Amino acid sequence: MMDNKTYMKISNLKTTSDGNNIKLSAIVDSEQLGNKELWFSIPKKYEQGLCKSRMDGFLVGMLFPAMRHGENIHVEGCISAQLLSNLNQYVIPMLMTFLPACKRIMITAVETSTERFDCSGVGTGFSGGVDSFCTFFDHYELENNTENRINSLIFLNVGSNGPGRTDEELMAAYNKFCSRYAYLRKFPEELGLDFIPLDSNLHSFHPWGHQLTHSLTTISAVLVMQNIYRKYFYASGGLSYLELYKFHDLLLKKDTALIDPMLLPLLSTESLAFVSDGTQFTRVEKILRIIDYEPVQRYLNVCVHDSESHENCSVCSKCCRTLMTLNSIGKLETFSQLFDIGKYKKRAEFLYLCQQVVLQNKDPFARNSIKLAKKNNVKLPSFVVSYLLVLLINFTRAWIPPTISSKIKSFLTT
Ligand SMILES: [Zn+2]
């Protein structure tokens, strides 16, 4: 059905090698985006995992850009029959419902296949974060069934290390990917597990930001490794089933995490099953679950600070959220190797507590953090003090030059 819509062609699947790495690429030819190569690259020693016979990963990676531009997709290559059918019937209408400005499109492919690859990999991504550690702990340490036990880890560069809208951004994201990988690899090495670094330029096709389409970009890259994985646990973004339902307006049009439990099974193929894991817990429940797992105390990495370093900054929103929970259960000092506790106490804690007090009825993360603090008799600022301080900080941020407002902020919070 190539109607009067413009369309996107994905073709020329090929592998090239530079000696150390092997690259699988295809040409994306679109009236809106021009003619551009989309590629995925891994170290040569993992080459047997690359799916060279189907273009499933390329199709899922380009699905959202094509829908944003209203372009039908035609794949000049082979696609999983199950995936193609599910995309056209269910996924496209689902994305139109939950993500902004998505247009209805139709996907066609020259060839479909129901082949099941001969592989035994059970995988998940490892980032050192709470969600990733919780999925790993449950399906590696606690898992007795070998059918479900994780036996391979992967680390992707498809957006989580920074945006890729320009060559400079792509290079900065690549550098962060390398620095985080070099740090995190020690943990899989200890356990004797593969930790596959997969680089890509997929994020250059997703200028809307990682959060909006992270499920699609991640699944895209994992499908490229379909010759190794038969099951893949995708760690949820930190909200429980009930919280996804109750606070759906927080994520609607902003984050595919809202629809992961519905979306992921539909991105599975005859050969690889995706499982949305972790939604059975709240974030606080996850932290309590993994807190005594010793590697967490050496590798926990939650920071979202915008720098090239992989280290926890101890003052960004995610560092603060984690440290508030650790403080509530009396475990701050256990993590003093990974966080600068003094910096958190001096520069961030009071204002962060005030923000959580103010947000507790609107934000599920704040609500759970406050509930845990109260349960453990942690002293919290009153609502009136919190409200006034947050108001004042917001006012200085909006109306006073940043250099002066940050001085006022540090005066008010120390
Ligand atoms: Zn941080």
Q: What is the domain partition of the chain in residue ranges? A: 7-113, 121-284, 302-413
Q: What's the pTM?
A: 0.90
Which SS3 state, helix, strand or coil, does residue 79 take? Answer: strand
| All residues at 6 or more sequence positions from 96 whose CB lies less than 8 Å from its CB, including other chains | 67, 102, 103, 104
Per-residue pLDDT of the chain (414 residues; tens, 9 = 90+): 445 568 999 999 999 998 899 999 999 999 989 999 999 999 999 999 999 999 999 999 999 999 999 999 999 999 999 999 999 999 999 999 998 789 999 999 999 999 999 999 999 999 999 999 999 999 999 999 999 999 999 999 999 888 999 999 999 999 999 989 999 999 999 999 999 999 999 999 999 988 889 999 999 999 999 999 999 999 988 888 988 888 887 777 777 888 999 999 999 999 999 999 999 999 889 999 999 999 999 999 998 877 777 789 999 999 999 999 999 999 999 999 999 999 999 999 999 999 999 999 989 899 999 999 999 999 999 999 999 998 998 888 777 666 665 666 565 554
Distance CA 119, CA 272 (A): 9
Strand partners, 153: 124, 195
**Structure-block tokens of residue 144:** 């007795």
Q: Please, what's the b/e burial string for 88-121 (b: 16 or more CB within 10 A of its CB; e: otherwise)?
A: eeebbebbeebbeebeebebebeebbeeebebeb
How many Å lie between the centroid of ligand 1 and the Cα of residue 367?
A: 20
CA of 315 to the centre of ligand 1 (A): 5
pLDDT for the residue 388: 93
CA of 161 to the centre of ligand 1 (A): 14
**CA-CA distance, 105 to 2, in Å (whole number)?**
10
Terminal CA-CA length for the chain? 64
With CA atoms as reference, report the closest residue to 237 among 254, 222, 225: 254
- Cross-strand bridge partners of residue 122: 231
- Ligand 1 ion local residues (Cβ < 5 A): 303, 305, 313, 316, 319
What separation in Å is there between the alpha carbon of 301 and the centre of ligand 1?
9
Q: How many angstroms is it from 54 CA to the middle of ligand 1?
A: 39
Between the CA of 340 and the centroid of ligand 1 the distance, in Å, is: 10
Cα 302 to averaged position of ligand 1 atoms, centre (Å) = 7
Q: How many whole angstroms from 105 Cα to the centroid of ligand 1?
A: 39
Q: Which of 324, 272, 336 is nearest to 83 (CA)?
A: 272
What separation in Å is there between the alpha carbon of 339 and the centre of ligand 1? Answer: 9
Q: How far is the CA of 349 from the centre of ligand 1 (A)?
A: 13
CB of 256 within 8 A of CB of 146? no
User: How far apart are the C-alpha atoms of 187 and 182, rounded to whole Å?
Assistant: 10
121-284 fold:
Rossmann fold (3.40.50)
Per the listing, tokens 């990676």 go with 61
Q: How far is the CA of 320 from the centre of ligand 1 (A)?
A: 7
Ligand 1 centroid distance, CA of 322 (Å): 10
The strand order across the sheet containing 107-113 reads 107-113, 72-80, 7-17, 21-30, 34-43, 194-200, 152-157, 121-125, 229-235, 273-277
Any alpha helices (H) in 35-185, and if so which ranges? 56-69, 81-86, 92-98, 130-136, 167-184
Distance 31 CA to ligand 1 centre (A): 40
Q: In angstroms, what is the span from residue 164 Cα to ligand 1's centroid?
A: 21
Cα(129) to centroid of ligand 1, in Å? 12
Which position has the token pair 């209805």?
104
Ligand 1 center to residue 402 CA distance, Å?
Answer: 20
Q: What is the pLDDT of residue 236?
A: 85
